[in-house]
Chains A and B, each alone.
Chain A
Amino acid sequence: MNYRAIWAIYTSEMMRTGRTLAQSIVSPVISTALYFVVFGAAIGSRITDIDGVSYVAFIVPGLIMLTLLTQSVMNASFGIYFPRFIGTIYELLSAPVSFLEIVIGFVGAAASKSIILGLIILATSALFVPLHIAHPFWMIVFLLLTSITFSLLGFIIGIWADGFEKLQIIPLLIITPLTFLGGTFYSTSVLPPLWQKIALANPVVYLISGFRWSFYEISDVHIGVSVAMTLVFLAICLAITGWIFKTGYKLKN
């Protein structure tokens, strides 16, 4: 393993965040705070508790997931797309670095940022609601798995995209709707039976349900199913990444 190369990629990616601190950290925190004000205080006060959890507390895990998913995808996709776009990718390709090391560097950095951001939002939310985390271990597991899985997805998108439109279209058209429909703001049990079935096709449901369980021990699907499904998405992303590695897809002529 070329650990120095992994570290070089990782630190260079983390420095990029440092440069765009406002965009990377401040804006997600502000938008989360706005969600709390609007959904928690303004609307939430008229919504009854869900399974014994106040509405504003109920949405905390969903909001963290919302940020985690979008930021992981955006950070990782931009991280690898930008060097491709301006041509500096030549250096990665000509260095004694394996594809695995490149992936670890980029995905590791994107996932780290998401996790830091998730924890910041968790801390922010503590200002608005009394927090209770029933299973801190599982909370961290979900935080890690989700960040890594969606950073991998972002990495794949960053390699597939050949324009900025494509780079933004997946987060915008797929990730955001799936997150909103995935139970960030409600329990899927409030949906009509048919829609409950359809909702199960949405991978984000499992992530949010599992993550929320780690806080309040309430869930839409069994925690075991959540963990298993998350691992399945991770495996799918790993398989696609492996395929890119084998074929050199869009990286080498």
Chain B
Amino acid sequence: MPSIISVKDLSKTYASGFQALKPITLDIEKGEIFALLGPNGAGKTTLISIICGIVTPSTGVITVGGHDIIKDYRAARAMIGLVPQEIMAAPFDTVWATVSMSRGLFNKPKNPAYLEKVLKDLTLWDKRDSRIVTLSGGMKRRVLIAKALSHEPQILFLDEPTAGVDVELRKDMWDVVRALRASGVTIILTTHYIEEAEEMADRVGVINKGEIILVEQKADLMRKLGKKVLTLHLQQKLDALPAGVETAGLKLGASGHELVYEYDTQRERTGIGTLLTTLNNAGIRVRDLQTTQTSLEDIFVGLVSDRT
């Protein structure tokens, strides 16, 4: 897949002297849903803001659709729709006026039919003549999404799209996102909810303290997630694995009172039945057993705490 956004050696030090991004290199593929996952203050908004032209980078080169975001900013920005975090649209404008204004800013000719479709998809059509200040929080968020979509972007940034959002909006939003993806739009969303990355993304990037510490296909991550660990608590202490019992993934626990078996839940045969039979035949009595799963959360927490 060709990359649609290319970030090379990007770093950002704010005027305060705080380095929000350490040199980052990242490629976003055309047509994918990329989830940028990281705790608060990791630098997600900073990274998005730089790509969109709101914050100036300290070092590095970024291209969007092959256009340099500084030298060729018009072409680069024309491709992007941004749904910002925690900002509302101009409060005294009507919904219709504000989406029309967004479309104009992005140099697109008037197209009432298209805007009508966007507003209908976001169940905003009935509110088109309402002033934004009179809308509920969820409705205001919908307006921001409509504004970002008003100019038919090829890339959509969603900065913490579901923070403080009700179930219904979440569902509508994911419907819209899936439809956009199906039409070839590239989507980058930031979140600190792992489930969200799991649910939506094709690829996941983990960012912490201004560093991207992992970028992986979600499927690969899920494979890691698919690993389970079975711990068998034994009645007697073993000094070594008895002959005939050895098998891939089986280890003797530290105290000798435990056997630890790592297996893949995705595989057709996990090997648990065979293991238990073999142990029984070898006269090894099992007192208790327990299984644990590594979640994306564990991976994430592990990665994040490694760096602190």
Contact = CB atoms under 8 A, between A and B. Distances in A.
Given A94-B54, A248-B56, A252-B54, A86 B105 contact: no
Given A86-B88, A87-B88, 16 more contacts: A4-B104, A4-B109, A8-B101, A8-B104, A8-B105, A86-B90, A87-B87, A90-B82, A94-B53, A94-B80, A96-B73, A248-B56, A252-B54, A252-B56, A253-B14, A253-B56
Contacts of A88: 87-90
Contacts of A253: 14-15, 49, 54-56
B108 interface: yes
Interface stretch (A12-20, A23-31, A51-59, A124-132): A12-20
* Closest 7 A/B residue pairs (Cβ): A8-B104, A96-B74, A95-B105, A87-B87, A94-B52, A96-B77, A96-B78
Nearest to A248: B56
A204 B87 CA distance: 40
B82 A15 contact: no
B104 A252 contact: no
Interface residues of B, number: 37
Contacts of B89: 88
Interface in B117-167: 147
A88 B105 CA distance: 13
A96 B82 contact: no
A253 B73 CA distance: 17
B75 interface: yes
Contacts, number: 85
Nearest to A87: B87
A96 B101 contact: no
Contacts of B97: 12, 15
Nearest to A105: B105
Given A2-B74, A88-B87, A253-B15, A96 B56 contact: no
Interface of A: 2, 4-5, 7-9, 11-12, 15-16, 19, 83, 86-88, 90-98, 248, 252-253
A97 B82 CA distance: 15
Contact of A95 (B14, B90, B106): B106
A253 B78 CA distance: 21
14 contacts: A8-B103, A15-B93, A83-B90, A93-B52, A94-B77, A94-B80, A95-B77, A95-B102, A96-B73, A96-B75, A96-B78, A96-B107, A252-B56, A253-B14
B92 interface: yes
Contact of B107 (A5, A91, A93): A5
Contacts of B74: 2, 96, 98
Contacts of A5: 104-107
A94 B82 contact: yes
B91 interface: yes
Contacts of B92: 16, 19
Contacts of A91: 82, 102, 105, 147
A108 to B, nearest CB: 14
A86 B91 contact: yes
B253 interface: no
B54 A4 contact: no
B54 A93 contact: yes
A97 B103 CA distance: 12
Nearest to A92: B105
A12 B14 CA distance: 32
Contact of A90 (B14, B87, B104, B107): B87
B77 A90 contact: no
Given A90-B87, A252-B56, A4 B108 contact: yes
Contacts of B23: none
A98 B91 CA distance: 24
B84 interface: yes
A96 B15 contact: no
With a 10 A CB-CB cut-off, give which of B97, B104, B147 has the most chain A CB atoms: B104
Interface string B228-240: 0000000000000
A12 B80 CA distance: 22
